[in-house]
Amino acid sequence: MYSRPTMSVIVPTSLRDALDVLAHAPATTVLAGGTDLMVELNSGHRQATAVVAVNRVPELRSWHHDPATGTLFIGAGITYAEIAEAPIAQWVPALAQAARTVGSPQIRNAATIGGNLGTCSPAGDGLPVLSALDAVVHLQSHTTSRAVPFGEFMVGPKRTVRVPGELITGVTVPVLSGWQGYSKVGVRNAMVIAVASAALVADPASGSVRLALGSVGPVILRCPEAEALAADAADFDTATISAAAERDFTELARQAARPIDDHRSTAAYRRHAVGVLAGRLLRRAFPNE
């Protein structure tokens, strides 16, 4: 057996208490749904001496839709099962699609969007959608509070700008009127970590098309060139885009990928797959040729 250090477990029932714990012991390990951390604890790959379980903090378990600003705040403790259902699914359908591809019902009942952000794996299913939506991540400590655009929040594989003492409290996303979707490739429908994934958001109000790629780089990758091409080529009123533009978009997405070979796939397959996903999503957003 591996050695087991003494561990303390605290289960705060308010945000203030949770932040107090982190203020006194900034290195405390934050436990959300447990679907990442418990795997590592069970295997002995990670040891923790102090854990704060935040799944019963009411402030993190709430969401708030603000029609005036057209935004939705999703508390860090909202589960993927909750995101996959109305009303959240109606406001951010791409995030709901991504949520439904996470693990299994058991995993979705536990796993939270805050946990997905905290782990920040390039394969995290929610992350390409948050990237394409230009989501803002909220971080709070005992004395500070900041809002960080997703593109600045994730700085490497499983690396974020969160500092010890800070807690991810939630994420704000825009509620948009255009088509949006998420797609991923894996070895089966359920219980699969993405080999490649993509999220596309078409926003008629700003005339923009946004594309974010997952599992094909050290961070979630946005594709400015593909986005500019699609915004130029697409007719939002008639949901039309040419086959040539779809091909070019696919190629630009392929080129934007920075994939690696690992135990789940090869770099070459990932590059191919993510291009196919991007092209498909574009065609779903603009079905007419």
201 DSSP β-pair partners: 180, 210
Interface of this chain with other proteins, residues 186 to 205, rule: CB under 8 A:
189-191
Interface of this chain with other proteins, residues 58 to 87, rule: CB under 8 A:
81
**Total residues binding other proteins (CB under 8 A):** 35
The answer to whether residues 167 and 22 touch, using CB atoms and an 8 Å cutoff, is yes
Give me the least distance between CB of 110 and other proteins, in Å please.
5
Copy the structure tokens of residue 228.
Answer: 């500019």
Q: Which is nearer to other proteins, 65 or 264 (CB)?
A: 264
Copy the structure tokens of residue 285.
Answer: 């957003």
Q: How far apart are CA 223 and CA 220, in angstroms?
A: 10
Q: Considering the rule CB under 8 A, would residue 53 count as an interface residue with other proteins? A: yes
Q: Which is nearer to other proteins, 51 or 253 (CB)?
A: 51
Interface of this chain with other proteins, residues 8 to 37, rule: CB under 8 A:
8-14, 17, 31, 33-35
Give me the least distance between CB of 189 and other proteins, in Å please.
7
Alpha carbons within 13 angstroms on the beta-carbon side of residue 95 total 33
Residue 127 vs residues 12, 118, 122, 201, 220: alpha-carbon distances, Å: 27, 11, 8, 13, 7
Which listed residue (96, 110, 135, 201) binds other proteins by CB under 8 A? 110
Q: How far apart are CA 203 and CA 207, in angstroms?
A: 6
Which listed residue (26, 58, 87, 105) binds other proteins by CB under 8 A? 105
Which listed residue (71, 109, 121, 141) binds other proteins by CB under 8 A? 109
Residue among 118, 178, 143, 167 nearest 18 (CA): 167
Contact map string, positions 231 to 250, toward other proteins, x by CB under 8 A = --------------------
Q: How far apart are CA 208 and CA 176, in angstroms?
A: 11
| Positions in the binding site for other proteins (CB under 8 A) | 4, 6-14, 17, 31, 33-35, 38-39, 41-43, 48, 51, 53, 55, 81, 103-107, 109-110, 189-191
